[in-house]
Structures are given as C-alpha cells and as structure tokens.
C-alpha cells in the first residue's frame, strides 16, 4: 500500500466530498431548468456556494465557479487587461505557470517581482517597482507557494497595491483548506481557489471577485453564473468542493499540527544528510509542506526510490511532471541548478502518521547510502 505524501498535487478525496458528489449526481435536473428537478439541482448548488462564501469570507455572488485554478488565473488576467484596462502586469517570480503564462501573452508590459532567498516577496524591491507604475496596473501574488509552501504577506502587499492605484489577484489554490483564508481580510480584488488540493473532486474551482468589480466572461452561451461564465453547471463537483472545504476548514487546527511532523521529518533526513537544504525554512510556510534538497542525490532518483519503497512524493509541481527543467521557484530563491535538481517536495495531509514519517526517513536514508556506496565503488 502506498503512503501518499503528495497532497499539494492532489489530495485524497474526503468521504464527505464523495458522498456529496454521489448525492448530487442522483439529483437529475439541470440547475438552469425551472421545473422541480432543475430547482432541486439549483438548490444544491446555491447551498454549496453559500457554504464556500462563508468559509472564504466573501459575498455569495462573489464566488464564480470555474473548471479549476488554471481557468481562474487565465480568466482574471484577461479581465485585468481588457476589462479593467491595466497598463502593466506585475507578477511574483515564484508564481504558478497558469499565472505566468497568460501574463506573458497578455500584450502589456510585464515585471517579475523578486523574492528573498527564503522565498518571501521582497517588499523593498516591490516598493521600487510600484513607484514606477502608472495606474491602473495588475499584480498577481500567490498566498502560498505550491512547491515550497512559503506564505506571502498578502495584507501588506494589498495595502501597497491599492495605495498606488492597482488591482491585486491572489492565487490561494494551495492555501485554502490548509491555513485560514479570509478574502475580505486579505484585501485582494480577486482570488483563485480549487477543490482537489483540499480533498474535493478534480475539475472544479472558483474565482472570487469583490462585489463592486466588473468581470467579463470569456465563455459564452447561456446565462450561468449571473451571466459571467456560460456552460451547464458542474453540480456534483460544486457539491463535493463545498463539502470538502467545510470539513477542511473545520479541521484547520489539526492540519496546523502537521508542522510538527514536517519538522521532525526534516530533522530525521538531516541525520542521514547533514547538508540537507530546506527551502523556505525560516519563512512562514504551509504546515504540511517540506521542499528539500540533498546535494548530489538527484530528485528523479529519490522519487523513484521512494516510489519503490511505497511512498509517493514529487520533484516539484505536478503541473510540470515529465519536464526535465530546473524549478523556476527554486531558481528565483537563488538555488543553483545542481541544488534545484536534487529537490523533492514532500506534502503531508490528514492521513499522515508518525509511523509514516519514521518509515520514510528510514527508506530515504537507505537509498542515500546505496547511492554513496555506488559512488565510492
């Protein structure tokens, strides 16, 4: 049986989410229909939207359902440029490709915002870039990084952006359900959240947009989502998303305790390799995320060795699987190519145990010892 240590890629589906999906699938109607079955489906979706709005600290109509994080991030960039008239885009150096890609293709000037060696946005450098901007402009900063778990000071960033006349989008795909996320308190203009990172089904997410901010759709047809996104609603996915989010947010105190397992694992790995580098170690991080590098121990070798030992870990973002390239996140933090190529991401979750940590460290240590024996032979 595989021990799953890749929650940041996709978390195991929660039983409450599974039950909600099955229940919604048994509700036959289309929520856009006016007959009884259709209205039953609409009621299911409305209840889910209200639950998510409560957990996110936003208005009910601020939640627009999408197919996931990539669509939400792409969509908001289109609106920033074409609806809000932003003259430039500023994006964090460690942002997800679903944000970096559309900004590069937006046709407006783009500035990459540097991070400190610990992965946190360099606020001094950010202030310098802000001073050169002409309003309106668009800024995209994720709440928590998918590879390192590093958490950015969004409230401070939001104050700076708005004082300079800009719009702020926050990608909270990795954060929601793992740390408290309050849209109003963060001060962002828009925010991305997804289902499958917190134990809901894949293929469903949401774009949160503050109430007084207009947004233009890019998918046309019917009048779903108050005319902002056409297409028959994914009622089952929406129901599963809300159920998973409700449980995840209720269990945030328990999730926070995963930091103890994460740090104990790092300590055990350092016993095997004293030169182990933990990225973002002195920064605020998601409690479940350990991104580390053992110099000379290639990430591909580690991932394969641990897979054979019954552990699922990754060598970075799952969106980049199969690509032989250095992590742009670690490069932005100043890591050498050699160090970055030896980095793995271990992301824990609600099913992780103390025994799992001990077993992982034991097998990892044996794999490292075998490599050193081969090098010395």
Question: Of the residues 44, 292, 319, 342, which is catalytic?
Answer: 319
> What tokens were used for 329?
């996140």
Let me know if 328 is exposed, middle or buried by CB neighbors in 10 A (0-12, 13-18, 19+). Answer: buried
Query: What b-and-e string marks burial along 213-251, b requiring 16 or more CB atoms within 10 Å of the CB?
Result: eebebeeeeeebbeebbeeebbbbbbbbbbbbbbbbbee
CB 360 within 8 A of CB 5: yes
Residue with tokens 């933090």: 333
Is residue 342 annotated as part of the catalytic site, yes or no?
no
Query: What b-and-e string marks burial along 17-29, b requiring 16 or more CB atoms within 10 Å of the CB?
Result: bbebbeebeebeb
What residues have CB less than 8 Å from 211, skipping those under 6 apart?
59, 61, 62
Let me know if 254 is exposed, middle or buried by CB neighbors in 10 A (0-12, 13-18, 19+). Answer: exposed
What residues have CB less than 8 Å from 108, skipping those under 6 apart?
81, 86, 87, 88, 89
> What tokens were used for 361?
């460290």
3-state secondary structure of 59: coil
Tell me the catalytic residues: 319
């Amino acid at each position: 049986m595989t021990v799953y240590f890749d929650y940041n890629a996709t978390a195991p589906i929660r039983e409450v989410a599974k039950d909600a999906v099955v229940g919604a699938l048994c509700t036959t109607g289309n929520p856009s229909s006016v007959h009884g079955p259709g209205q039953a489906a609409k009621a299911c979706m409305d209840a889910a939207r209200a639950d998510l709005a409560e957990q996110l600290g936003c208005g009910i109509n601020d939640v627009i359902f999408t197919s996931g994080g990539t669509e939400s991030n792409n969509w908001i960039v289109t609106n920033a440029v074409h609806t809000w008239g932003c003259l430039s885009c500023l994006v964090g150096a460690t942002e997800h490709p679903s944000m970096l890609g559309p900004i590069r293709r937006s046709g407006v000037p783009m500035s990459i915002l540097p991070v400190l060696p610990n992965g946190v946005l360099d606020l001094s450098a950010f202030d310098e870039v802000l001073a050169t901007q002409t309003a309106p402009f668009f800024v995209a900063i994720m709440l928590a990084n998918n590879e390192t778990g590093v958490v950015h000071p969004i409230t401070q960033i939001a104050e700076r952006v708005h004082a300079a006349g800009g719009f702020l989008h926050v990608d909270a795909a990795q954060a929601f359900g793992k740390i408290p996320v309050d849209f109003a308190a963060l001060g962002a203009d828009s925010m991305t959240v997804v289902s499958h990172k917190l134990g809901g089904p894949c293929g469903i997410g949401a774009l949160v947009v503050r109430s007084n901010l207009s947004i233009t759709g890019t998918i046309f047809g019917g009048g779903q989502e108050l005319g902002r996104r056409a297409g028959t609603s994914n009622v089952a996915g929406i129901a599963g998303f809300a159920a998973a989010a409700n449980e995840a947010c209720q269990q945030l105190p328990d999730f926070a305790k995963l930091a103890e397992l994460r740090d104990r694992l790092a300590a055990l790995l350092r016993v095997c390799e004293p030169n182990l580098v933990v990225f973002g170690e002195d920064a605020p991080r998601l409690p479940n995320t350990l991104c580390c590098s053992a110099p000379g121990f290639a990430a591909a070798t580690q991932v394969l060795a641990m897979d054979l030992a019954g552990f699922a870990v990754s060598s970075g973002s799952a969106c980049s699987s199969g690509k032989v390239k250095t992590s742009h996140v670690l490069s932005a933090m100043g890591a050498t190519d050699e160090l970055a190529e030896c980095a793995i991401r271990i992301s824990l979750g609600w099913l992780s145990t103390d025994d799992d940590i001990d077993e992982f460290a034991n097998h990892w240590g044996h794999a490292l010892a075998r490599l050193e024996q081969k090098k010395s032979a």
